[in-house]
Amino acid sequence: AQSVAQPEDQVNVAEGNPLTVKCTYSVSGNPYLFWYVQYPNRGLQFLLKYITGDNLVKGSYGFEAEFNKSQTSFHLKKPSALVSDSALYFCAVRALSGGYNKLIFGAGTRLAVHP
């Protein structure tokens, strides 16, 4: 079955420290991978994607993610966290199902950045 796993419900990090939010996936064929962020009472905002090419992709607000095919992972990273990065983060994979593509999301990881 095609799925996304985010093993941490919450990640706590001090402002200025690096952060990592983990994601692993299971999908048939080549994956299209995405990270979205959700602020309270807001919709999902696109952060970055991996479609093909370089395994390290850079996105909005200084975030980056590394595609690792052997480990089927797509961890989200940022070198220096900001308090304003505190939000809910979702990893998603675009999966082929029944001949059509659709995004399958993980359960989400809440990032809390402390001053």
* Contacting positions for other proteins (CB under 8 A): 4, 6, 32, 34, 36, 41-46, 49, 51, 90, 94, 97-98, 100, 102-108
Contacts 24+ apart (CB under 8 A), 44-49: 44/90, 47/76, 47/89, 48/76
CB-CB contact of 35 with 76 (8 Å): yes
Min. distance of Cβ 64 from other proteins in angstroms? 17
Nearer to other proteins, 1 or 70 (CB): 1
Nearer to other proteins, 34 or 67 (CB): 34
Nearer to other proteins, 40 or 115 (CB): 40
